[in-house]
Amino acid sequence: MFKPDKVHIRHCVRLCFDEGKTAAEARRIVCSTYGEGTVSASTCQTWYQRFRSGDFDFGDQKSSSCTNGSRSDFDNNNRNRTNHTKKHDSQLEALLVKNVSMTVEELAKALRVSQSAVSHRLSAIGMIERCGKLMPRELDESSVLSRLSFCLASSTREHAESFLWRLIVGGEKWITFDQSNRRKTSYKQSKRVHIRTRTQSS
């Protein structure tokens, strides 16, 4: 049976991440394919955290308790990860500037990442999805003034003309009454047929 190496397993976890599966589901899929104990739950959680932060480098991350020589490598990895995240953020912002009505699903397809990764990066840059549209988490001054003016206009209109005055009330109405089950009788041409009417109070 094929025994996968660490990089192959990480690619499998990345595939599950892109398909929107959880870390527990990714571990279950990998272990059911390559055998129990192939990957641990903590390892899947660690890689999911890196993927959500925009770090898709499959190399090993150096420990913070390393020597001075390897410390520079650790700093370089962090710097590369930060640059990678900034690159994704710039691509995300460029798509939003081009079309602000794009949904999280559309952004994920355009960037070839999972929806959870897009949601995480949107939250990091101060954007939030409401009613299928993306908008800033905090309103700018123009948006606040626009909402304030709308609320004041609605309040002024309600005080000037209450909704009770806009109700249409009818007193009574005439309804034509015709008895359909009456007997057949012959009328002379000179005799007129009178239709009885009733009034119905509303």
- Give the whole-angstrom CA distance, residue 109 versus residue 21: 16
Question: Across-strand partners of 190?
Answer: none
- The confidence score (pLDDT) of residue 202 equals 46
CA distance 155 to 61: 59
- In the chain, the domains with their CATH numbers are 1-52 (1.10.10.1450), 77-174+197-202 (1.10.10)
pLDDT attached to residue 67: 42
Spatial distance between the Cα atoms of 9 and 194, rounded to a whole number of angstroms: 94
- 173-185: b or e for each residue (b if 16 or more CB lie within 10 Å)? eeeeeeeeeeeee
Exposed/middle/buried for residue 51 (C-beta within 10 Å: 0-12, 13-18, 19+): buried
pTM (whole model) above 0.75: no
Closest CA to 76 of 90, 57, 92: 57
Does an H or E element contain 176, and which?
strand 172-176
**Long-range contacts of the stretch 72-79 (C-beta < 8 A, 24+):** none
Backbone angles phi, psi at 66, to 5 degrees: -105, 175
Q: Which residues of the chain are under the pLDDT cut of 50?
A: 63-78, 81, 202
Interstrand relation of 133-136 and 172-176 (parallel, antiparallel or unpaired): unpaired
d(CA 97, CA 199): 66
Q: Which two tokens stand for residue 196?
A: 């009885």
> Which pLDDT score, from 0 to 100, does residue 156 have?
76
Torsion of CA 113, 117, 122, 123, to 10 degrees: 180
DSSP letters for 84-145: HHHHHHHHHHHHHHH-TT--HHHHHHHHTS-HHHHHHHHHHTTEEEETTEEEESS--HHHHH
Nearest C-alpha neighbor of 9 from the set 63, 58, 60 = 58
